[in-house]
Structure 1
């Protein structure tokens, strides 16, 4: 038999950060790899909800694996985001407040530019 690969914290944290970026891009309706898998679905409004759900599931899965393997994954998120991940439910609150500055005047002005 071959040599067993070592479980590497850096690898999992990198994958966690990739999943975080994908989820954040899905929240912002930006292009992700998922768009390439289903290009014919881009015209359907429900596609964006499904895309967010898939990205959220990936993020939860990798965070769960990091937790089981005792890797420090919480440092990659704000305390508020850690709370959302620990609650595991992708609610309207997560969608609206993942980016903590969503409710600030600066965020609203940046969106208008």
Structure 2
């Protein structure tokens, strides 16, 4: 039982980290990606790619949660849940991610 709880806790932490990573990328704040590819800052497509990487990470963690029957939706607003379910990072996602959320990530 203890190992199952550890796995659940780990995935919940990873989900929170992936959401934060995406939100930091969305807000053009510093992420791990900046440290991995510092030369990319000079390229105009950098922020788009950074957001895509963070979005992909978030979708991957959500998929794992779903496969393991772990509820992930309680960490998101209803609109955010719908965006994640649709899986496409559209301009609507970028423009309205915080629409019904209290605040931006720190």
Question: What TM bracket, shorter-length normalisation?
Answer: 0.7 to 0.9
Q: State the shift of 1:12 in Å.
A: 0.4
Q: Residues 17-56 of structure 1 correspond to what in structure 2 (within 5 A)?
A: 17-56=16-55
* C-alpha RMSD over aligned residues: 1.7
Say whether 1:11 aligns with 2:13.
Answer: no
CA-to-aligned-CA distance 1:68-96 (integer Å, 9 cap, x gap): 10001100100100000000000000000
Aligned residue pair count: 99
Unaligned 5+ runs, structure 1? 108-113
* Distance in 1 of aligned mates of 2:80 and 2:8: 20
CA shift at 1:101, angstroms?
5.2
Unaligned runs of 5+ in 2: none
Give, in whole Å, the separation in 1 of the partners of 2:100 and 2:56. 23
Pair member with larger Rg: 1
Query: Whose relative contact order is higher, 1 or 2, with alpha carbons under 8 Å and at least 6 apart?
Result: 2
Q: For 2:35 and 2:92, locate their aligned partners in 1 and report how far apart those are by CA, in whole Å.
A: 28
Deviation at 1:56, TM superposition (A): 0.1
1:1-113 to structure 2, matched below 5 A, reads 6=4, 8-100=7-99
TM-score in terms of structure 2 length: 0.88
Q: CA deviation at 1:47?
A: 0.6
